[in-house]
Structure 1
């Protein structure tokens, strides 16, 4: 009888020990991460992703930035663990200019890039003497120039790089003036120019409209003319690119449910 009681006690102790080990393991696997985004829509999407990975023991804190200049430095210095706001071209240019080694770990979306105007109803109405505002950073500015080339306003050189600058313009089909402004200031400057190319997050956040409702030309309506380097990505520091938690986060992002959320923001899933 004593042997049975002893055996039962040992079984209970063993069971409790295993439970304690399981609890410790679960705690060790729980990680908190901060992701930086640049629009209210992306904040909403990432909060949804955060809800999905909670069961994996992963917590995501979403930090909203107002422009494009802070997210990568914050990732480099460790203030962020991931960011999700930029396309490949922007990331490559940042790395080049800052001797950084941020890397993409998964595609997110392709954001429409549109031409907007308070003064004309059709891009074909652009004429000599008009002013068109474009972003002053080389990547978004390059996409803007490719848009103007696609609609026959300028002609880029045949050997223009993937992210051209105004130096790569071979000729002005229409003698417009190109005004380069910081990306987050262009929406506010729209009344002062004939037309402007504006990033979609600023269209939705600052103009409170959508490309479909307001743009006079949208480049993703002609997707064959949009370079693949404009697919947006989730970026991390190089040393973290194989982190198991991040693979789970990418998987949670690249889901049918998130694709539907992306389409609601007028963007296109890119995976």
Structure 2
């Protein structure tokens, strides 16, 4: 199976986009003067797949900046994590920006794909939330804890539960443990795996839920205020594999237009929008 190629350097330099122009002139007689006209090039359309509303807001601002580069950035919004990689892989999209490196590598391994990161975006914390408890220490014996059902986010959620001493995992499992790797569960917690987009709704019934920031924010939660614990509270322990990326097909990794899209994202303006749309929760990851 193919594996995604991790890029070594992600410092992208924006270059000037040269607009094609045509000059034309005719001479009718000795008194006619030469004239010229400039014909603007058609914009280059780039389709990018996103998942959350906060991401759409940020990328809409990027799209405005790209107009000066004669690039028409078309945003395609998805409602879950399952479709954007499929759409990129089959050519319906040119880029997507919704996932961290670990999620992308897992998709490649399971689908014989070669989608490749071309630029970092941000680190998004994973948080545990509850409508019933004000502190994770209050979680009761036999409570249900909902976590994402995909391998990478589910594994990260289990590592979070271990970090707050709710469970203990087999040390041999690495960064992608499963519920089968739980070796100690002193509160007899019921770990329920759900589609990540459904996790905010699970708070009505579950004791707590581990929710990705984009879905938490879309549901009206403020991670820095509402989460009982964020795994970025100790940012040094958040691995590079959890940095989010802009992804392309492998054959497009050196596409100059796509590099300009990444460069237009990796700006101070984007940093300010990330802070605004995620209540200072997500952390820019390209510096």
Tell me the TM-score normalised to structure 2 length: 0.84
Please state which structure has a larger fraction of its residues in helix: 1
Question: 1:136 touches 1:183 (CA, 8 Å); kept in 2?
Answer: yes
The one of 259, 262, 267 equivalent to 2:282 is 267
The answer to whether residue 111 in structure 2 is matched with residue 98 in structure 1 is yes
Count, aligned residues = 255
Equivalents in 1 of 2:174, 2:110: separation in Å? 16
The gaps in structure 1 that reach 5 residues or longer are none
Tell me the TM-score normalised to structure 1 length: 0.89
Q: Which moved more, 1:100-109 or 1:164-173?
A: 164-173
The answer to whether residue 91 in structure 2 is matched with residue 70 in structure 1 is no
Question: 1:162 touches 1:227 (CA, 8 Å); kept in 2?
Answer: no
Question: 1:150 touches 1:225 (CA, 8 Å); kept in 2?
Answer: no
**Where does residue 146 of structure 1 map in the other structure?**
159
Q: Compute the RMSD of aligned alpha carbons.
A: 1.8
The answer to whether residue 41 in structure 2 is matched with residue 27 in structure 1 is yes
Match runs of 1:169-208 below 5 Å: 169-206=182-219, 208=220
Equivalents in 2 of 1:136, 1:217: separation in Å? 20
The one of 36, 46, 50 equivalent to 1:37 is 50
Question: 1:156 touches 1:170 (CA, 8 Å); kept in 2?
Answer: yes
- SS of the residue corresponding to residue 209 of structure 1 reads coil
Equivalents in 1 of 2:130, 2:66: separation in Å? 42
* Alpha-carbon shift at residue 129 of structure 1 (Å): 1.4
**Where does residue 227 of structure 1 map in the other structure?**
239
**Largest Rg, 1 or 2:** 1
The gaps in structure 2 that reach 5 residues or longer are 1-28
Equivalents in 2 of 1:32, 1:222: separation in Å? 40
Change (3 A) 1:173 1:241: same
Equivalents in 1 of 2:242, 2:223: separation in Å? 17
**Where does residue 215 of structure 1 map in the other structure?**
227
Change (3 A) 1:60 1:194: same
